[in-house]
């Protein structure tokens, strides 16, 4: 089945104090998650508030199923908005928090509908508690249930899951994906966390300084020309600028990396790093760190003034801090940053 675009944002510009956002163009389709990713100060929250109607537009259009809504007040746009602090009422119990938007609408079946969403989010046993009596993950569930109980046409969510541990975050991401797919509700979510973005996004918009640096499927961010900004969000650790490579030019891997670098340097994926005993050929490097992570063993090497990280690998690395090894990097894994020099 072909899904019609539910939310269309075209040439949106907004001003908040001295910050200027836009022009921004994005779409969010039914059952899909469009994630806006970027560092603090990129304009993510400003964008969401402008779409929700809490910040006036300088120019541009916002359409919901083809109908212009940018001149409507927030309560008439058909959008559900979850702020970073979740916006739960501390004096209301969980049940009343979830039911609140239904009471405002005068929904004829408000009690049953609130109970349905409480159960879908596993909150039935908590419905008599106050927000202060809940864990961070439980409060997130209440915010989800309340937003969706109001039957929004699009769900807007600002920096979700920020206060959660990894296990709780992943559990809620799975739950949110399941609900969105079942209800066919578009989600527009902003975050600075790549793990949240890549764990949920059908479409990714990367903001920097109020402008979109990338707009497309998540896998497209790595497929196109990389710059340092995009490489950081993709999780690459071995990023080397031209200045770093030139400073280390006479050591180990640096000359080869410099020859292959783009105008902003080069990326070396960790899984392209190899090492063997120090008696073998190749640049000599010292083991600087050996650590276990959730993904496996990671080893860091000092190669002149460069730090090169490998892994993660499930196999024990067989080296200790201070060991000398012959280090090499598979050239097919290198990714120049920026334009060709």
CATH number at residue 92: 3.40.50.300
Helices (H) and strands (E) in the chain, counts: 10, 18
Nearest-CA neighbor of 237 among 311, 328, 168? 311
Q: Is the domain of 159 the same as that of 252?
A: no
Q: Is the peptide bond before 312 cis (omega within 30 degrees of 0)?
A: yes
Among the three residues 224, 256, 284, which one is the final residue of a domain in this structure? Answer: 224
Among the three residues 224, 253, 277, which one is the final residue of a domain in this structure? Answer: 224
Collapsed DSSP state (helix, strand, coil) of residue 13: strand
Six-digit token string for 259: 């020859």
Residue 60 has pLDDT above 90, yes or no: yes
Q: What pLDDT was estimated at residue 2?
A: 42
pLDDT (average), residues 178-182: 79
End-to-end CA distance of the chain: 46
**pLDDT tens per residue across span 246-297:** 888 766 788 888 888 888 888 888 888 888 765 555 557 888 888 887 778 8
Q: What pLDDT was estimated at residue 106?
A: 81
Q: Please state, in angstroms and rounded to a whole number, the distance separating the CA atoms of residues 118 and 126.
A: 9
pLDDT (average), residues 95-112: 87
| pLDDT grade for 229, boundaries at 50, 70 and 90 | confident
Q: Is the domain of 214 the same as that of 261?
A: no
| pLDDT grade for 163, boundaries at 50, 70 and 90 | low
Higher-pLDDT residue of 313, 133: 133
pTM exceeding 0.75: no
Collapsed DSSP state (helix, strand, coil) of residue 140: helix
- What is the secondary structure of 264-323 as a DSSP string? TEEE--GGGEEEEETTSSS-EEEEEEEEEETTEEEEEEEETTEEEEEEEESS-----TT-
Q: Is the domain of 250 the same as that of 216?
A: no
Higher-pLDDT residue of 180, 58: 58
Collapsed DSSP state (helix, strand, coil) of residue 63: strand
**Number of domains making up the chain:** 2
**What proportion of the chain, given as a percentage, has pLDDT over 90?**
19
Q: Please state, in angstroms and rounded to a whole number, the distance separating the CA atoms of residues 96 and 115.
A: 10
Whole-Å CA distances, 16 to 24, 48, 62, 69, 74? 15, 12, 18, 20, 18
Q: In terms of residue numbers, what domain contains 241?
A: 231-337
Q: Is the domain of 136 the same as that of 270?
A: no
Q: What pLDDT was estimated at residue 278?
A: 59
Among the three residues 189, 205, 224, which one is the final residue of a domain in this structure? Answer: 224
Q: Is the domain of 40 the same as that of 182?
A: yes
211: DSSP letter: E
Nearest-CA neighbor of 144 among 157, 125, 130? 157
**pLDDT tens per residue across span 184-225:** 888 898 887 777 777 778 888 888 889 988 888 887 776 667
């Amino acid at each position: 089945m072909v899904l019609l675009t539910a939310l269309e944002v075209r040439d949106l510009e907004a001003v908040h104090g001295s910050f200027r956002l836009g022009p921004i163009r994005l779409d969010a389709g039914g059952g899909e998650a469009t994630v806006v990713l970027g560092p603090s100060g990129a304009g993510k929250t400003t964008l969401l508030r402008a779409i929700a109607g809490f910040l006036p537009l300088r120019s541009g259009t916002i359409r919901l199923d083809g109908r212009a809504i940018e001149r409507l007040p927030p309560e008439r746009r058909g959008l559900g908005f979850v702020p970073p602090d979740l916006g739960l009422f501390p004096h209301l119990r969980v049940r009343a928090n979830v039911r609140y938007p239904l009471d405002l609408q005068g929904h004829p079946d408000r009690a049953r509908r609130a109970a349905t969403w409480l159960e879908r989010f596993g909150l039935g046993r908590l419905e008599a508690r106050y927000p202060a009596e809940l864990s961070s993950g439980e409060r997130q569930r209440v915010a989800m249930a309340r937003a969706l109980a109001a039957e929004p046409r699009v769900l807007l969510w600002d920096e979700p899951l920020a206060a959660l541990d990894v296990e709780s975050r992943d559990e809620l991401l799975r739950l949110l994906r399941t609900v969105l797919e079942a209800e066919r509700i578009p989600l527009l979510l902003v975050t600075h966390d790549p793990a949240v973005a890549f764990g949920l996004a059908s479409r990714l918009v990367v903001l920097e300084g109020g402008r979109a640096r990338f707009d497309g499927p998540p896998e497209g961010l790595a497929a196109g020309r990389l710059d340092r900004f995009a490489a950081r969000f993709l999780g690459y650790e071995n990023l080397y600028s031209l200045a770093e490579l030139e400073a280390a030019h006479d050591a180990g891997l640096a000359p080869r990396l410099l020859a292959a670098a783009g105008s902003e340097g080069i990326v070396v994926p960790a899984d392209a790093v190899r090492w063997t005993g120090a008696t073998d050929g190749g640049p000599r490097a010292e083991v600087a760190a050996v650590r276990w992570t959730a993904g496996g063993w990671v080893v860091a090497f000092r190669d002149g003034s460069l730090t090169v990280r490998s892994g993660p690998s499930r196999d024990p690395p067989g080296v200790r801090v201070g060991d000398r090894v012959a280090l090499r990097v598979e050239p097919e894994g290198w990714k120049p940053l920026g334009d060709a020099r």
